[in-house]
Amino acid sequence: MTTELLNQFIEYLALERGLSRKTLLAYRSDLVLFQKYLQEACVDDVKAITRDHIRGFLESQQEAGKRPKSLARLLVSIKALFKYLAVAHIREDDITEVMASPRLPQVVPECLTLEQVTALLHAFDNPPEDKFRAKYLRNRTALAILYATGIRASELCDLRLTSIDYHEGTMKVRGKGDKERVVPYDNNANQAIQEYLQKGRPELDVSGKAPYLLLNLKGNRMDKRSLWEIVEEGGRLVGIENLHPHLLRHSFATHLLANGADLRVIQELLGHASIDTTQVYLSADTSRIQQAFLKFHPRA
């Protein structure tokens, strides 16, 4: 498999499927490993690759210490490559169609309690000094939106002022694969946003022309690392350890499900392409029910 072919495949993923740069780098990294294995096996022509080559590669990676989740991702990358080879008529067959991915244990997402969420949403209510007011209002807004909408950290960082409909209480967010969706937000988030826009953001918007909702102290778009630090800081202020933006997303989904929301609605709100991804929250809900049963049932 040549580097030129690999580059063509990555370009195809970028143009046809609109994958993010991070995802494209992951595909390239996986397939470079496969490319090196094929070179060592003296297989230069993609038409000469067999299932045995793929199995041998995966076995070599397993021996090198790769975990089942990593092996599954490697196979996903190889399957995507062979699907492309068939579509581009480079190969007549897709030998990976019948190859099943390794079964992975289902990981139940962690979730904050409602008490923890309430405390967190008030973590930045009282700045120690007036000079920190703009920063605290911004931070409170970030936390309120993350929990109210369940959007990803990257989606919040990319959120523009023009993407918010203040009258309807909705936001247009652009998610994975450059797909746009509309998500509602609650009154708590609305109050945080309005106070930030009136009393905080004008101090941060040095140029007066910044298009993004959340700005750093230099008046530029906030990056994911900074947003992560805000969430961590909020957690420390209220005694929640190891807090990260995705935990708020998990909590949003789990709390909706616990209060009777339809799984399909949660799928749309989260921007999941497949309902299978959303179904992991069913496990989280079941796990919580089991814990309550064991704790409170007199005969448990």
Catalytic-residue membership of 53: no
Mean pLDDT value across residues 51-75: 89
Distance, CA of 84 to CA of 81 (rounded, Å): 5
- 240 membership: H or E segment, kind and range: none
Query: Per-residue pLDDT for 222 more than 90?
Result: yes
pLDDT of 282 reads 75
Query: Per-residue pLDDT for 146 more than 50?
Result: yes
Instruction: Give 291's pLDDT tier (boundaries 50, 70, 90).
Output: low
**Domains observed in the chain:** 3-87 (1.10.150.130), 114-294 (1.10.443.10)
- Which structure tokens are listed for 165? 């409909």
Residues 6+ apart with CB under 8 A from 233: 123, 139
End-to-end CA distance of the chain: 59
Q: Tell me which of 53-57, 123-127, 281-285 is least confident.
A: 281-285
Residue 103, class by beta-carbon neighbours within 10 Å (0-12 exposed, 13-18 middle, 19+ buried)?
exposed
Catalytic-residue membership of 246: yes
**Which comes out higher in pLDDT, residue 20 or 182?**
182
Catalytic-residue membership of 272: yes
Residue tagged active-site, from 138, 249, 250, 255: 249
Query: Per-residue pLDDT for 31 more than 90?
Result: yes
Distance, CA of 231 to CA of 219 (rounded, Å): 19
pLDDT of 287 reads 55
Residue tagged active-site, from 138, 140, 152, 255: 152
Residue tagged active-site, from 53, 73, 172, 246: 246
Distances in Å between the alpha carbon of 82 and those of 26, 35, 54, 272? 16, 13, 11, 24
Strand, coil or helix: 95: coil
Mean pLDDT value across residues 212-232: 95
How far from the centroid of its chain's Cα atoms is residue 37's Cα?
31
Residue in the block written with tokens 């005694």? 239
**Which comes out higher in pLDDT, residue 279 or 194?**
194
Query: Per-residue pLDDT for 300 more than 60?
Result: no
Distance, CA of 171 to CA of 165 (rounded, Å): 6
Q: Count Cβ atoms below 10 Å from residue 176 Cβ, excluding itself.
A: 15
pLDDT of 133 reads 96
Residue tagged active-site, from 73, 83, 272, 288: 272
pLDDT of 298 reads 56
Residue in the block written with tokens 């299932």? 51
Query: Per-residue pLDDT for 99 more than 60?
Result: yes
Instruction: Give 62's pLDDT tier (boundaries 50, 70, 90).
Output: confident
Residue tagged active-site, from 83, 176, 181, 224: 176
Query: Per-residue pLDDT for 288 more than 90?
Result: no
Mean pLDDT value across residues 30-35: 95
Distance, CA of 154 to CA of 222 (rounded, Å): 10
Q: Give residue-wise pLDDT tens across range 190-214.
A: 999 999 999 999 999 999 999 999 9
CA atoms within 13 A on the CB side of 155: 27
Mean pLDDT value across residues 213-242: 94
Catalytic-residue membership of 66: no
Nearest residue to 193 (alpha-carbon basis) of 152, 117, 137, 150 = 137
Q: Tell me which of 19-28, 126-135, 210-219 is least confident.
A: 19-28
Catalytic-residue membership of 36: no
Considering the chain, what is the average pLDDT of its residues?
89
Is the CB of residue 111 less than 8 Å from the CB of residue 240? no
Query: Per-residue pLDDT for 107 more than 70?
Result: no
Query: Per-residue pLDDT for 105 more than 70?
Result: no
Query: Per-residue pLDDT for 292 more than 80?
Result: no
- 18 membership: H or E segment, kind and range: none
pTM of the complete model: 0.66
Instruction: Give 32's pLDDT tier (boundaries 50, 70, 90).
Output: very high
Residue tagged active-site, from 37, 185, 212, 281: 281
